[in-house]
Amino acid sequence: MINVRALANMATQNVNPNRTVKLKVNTGYTVNEYGEQVPSFIEEEIEVQIQSLSSQEKFNLDLVNKQGEFVSIYAFGAIDGIRRWLGKGSSKFIFPAYGESAAAEWQVNQVMESYATWTRVLAWRQS
């Protein structure tokens, strides 16, 4: 089987290198002493390809008039969005935006493509 993602990644790295980011995988929640649900996460570092969205993608995803910064993130393996039926929220990434030095939190807004070996997600900047 041809690994299309690996071939595409080799080409895109010449222009836009992969980045090592922190992935926070939501594992559910705990309840604190006040009865509030507090999300819990497992953190790991992974290598991803981060790309801006094209104007057509923003239009198709109905993001043209939405405030915020959105990026497309390609990663090997599976990354989840919200899974309410399992009691889990969406995963998050921690990395600085292009041209910035301070790390920002990016929440997985939508799983756009999911295959056996790689995933493409839409991430929305939280901070």
Domain positions in the chain: 4-8+18-125
Give the N- to C-terminal CA distance of the chain in Å, as an integer: 40
Closest CA to 108 of 87, 122, 96: 122
What residues contact 104, with CB distance under 8 A and at least 6 apart?
Answer: 94, 95, 96, 97, 125, 126, 127
- pLDDT confidence of 1, banded at 50, 70, 90? low
Q: Which amino acid is at 12?
A: T
Q: Which two tokens stand for residue 127?
A: 């901070």
% the chain with pLDDT above 70: 92
pTM over 0.85: no
What's the confidence (pLDDT) of residue 104?
95
- The stretch 79-86 carries a mean pLDDT of 78
CATH 2.40.10.270 fits 4-8+18-125, yes or no: yes
What's the confidence (pLDDT) of residue 21?
97
Closest CA to 70 of 126, 16, 15, 17: 126
